[in-house]
Structure 1
Amino acid sequence: MESSTKYLEEKLKLTVNRKKSRTVSVFAIRKFKFLGFTLGRNGSGIYVRVHPKSWKKFKSKLKTLSSRKKCQSIKPSLEEIKVYARGWLNYYGMASMKNNIEDINGWLYHRIRMCIWKQWKLPKTKKRNLIRMGIPEYYAHIAANSRKGHWFSSNLTTVKRAMLKERLINSGFYDLATAYQSVHVNY
């Protein structure tokens, strides 16, 4: 620690915060946080993952960006989500997080469907839009007149079939899983 501090302060002219700084061995400590990453060791070697606090912060920010109160128009919300998620993925792209990204991606699709469902407001508008998206009139009527809340209704099979991933991506949704695969390949 002393030699590192001496090098950083004298040679590189950087200030080291001695209260926060410590030296650890990846082999001695099971997991530790470093710049939002968790470094550790398992049977196949050393791994780099996103720290749980960073995941929580990411999901919280996505939740505010896709809030039901905020998304009067879905296009600006989709653009803000795209900008934030792209920056986050570029920073954490080297970490192993395929399963977590897929979970958050599915959750985010559900949130976007919920926002669109809320935007449509009236049952007749919901029914008309579902029919326009290729859903038979009978099923569109049942889904549109559901008395359940926005979150529940946006997860109905009818609504999911109407708002497929491809349709949402074409309207401007940023698919996290696809973006992660392209970023992670570069590392």
Structure 2
Amino acid sequence: MGKLRECVRRWMQYFGISQYWRTVPGLDEWIRRRMRSVYWKRWKGSRTKIRELLRLGVNRRMAFRHGLSGKGNWRMARSPGLRIALTNERLHETGLVSVVALWKKAQGYA
């Protein structure tokens, strides 16, 4: 997470002067989805996936449906269960920086 945070900050120092807003929210969403995918891949077995989803506040039925799913990491990163478990606030707490917030700061909005 530290390397990603450093990379995003450096990227924003270079491209932050641009006033082209259109790509910024999409990039932010892609990074969050990628991080959810990494977490899903890190929880290797079905039992671990179910246990972590339950620990992070997903209801029991959804946790079992998602944990036993055979779909890939990237597809599961967009599922409702992972969005409930790994909210934007939780990802921010783990150290993920928002590209949108950094861009607004560079533009003088925040």
- Normalising by the smaller structure, the TM-score range is over 0.9
Select the residue among 34, 49, 58 that pairs with 1:126: 49
Corresponding residue number in structure 2 for 1:96: 19
What pairs with 1:65-144 in structure 2 (closer than 5 Å)? 78-144=1-67
TM-score by length of 2: 0.94
Gaps of 5+ in 2: none
Larger proportion of strand: 1
Select the residue among 80, 84, 87 that pairs with 1:161: 84
* Match status 1:180 vs 2:103: yes
SS at match of 2:22: helix
Corresponding residue number in structure 1 for 2:94: 171
Corresponding residue number in structure 1 for 2:68: 145
User: Which protein has greater RCO, CA pairs closer than 8 Å, 6+ apart?
Assistant: 2
Q: What is the alpha-carbon distance in structure 1 between the residues aligned to residue 43 and residue 17 of structure 2? A: 39
Gaps of 5+ in 1: 1-77
Q: Residue type of the partner of 1:115?
A: V
SS at match of 2:75: helix
Q: What is the alpha-carbon distance in structure 2 between the residues aligned to residue 92 and residue 152 of structure 1? A: 29
Percent of aligned positions that are identical: 25
Q: Runs in 1 of length 4+ with deviation above 6 angstroms?
A: none
Larger proportion of helix: 2
Cα RMSD of the aligned pairs, angstroms, is 1.1
Work out the number of aligned pairs and report it: 109
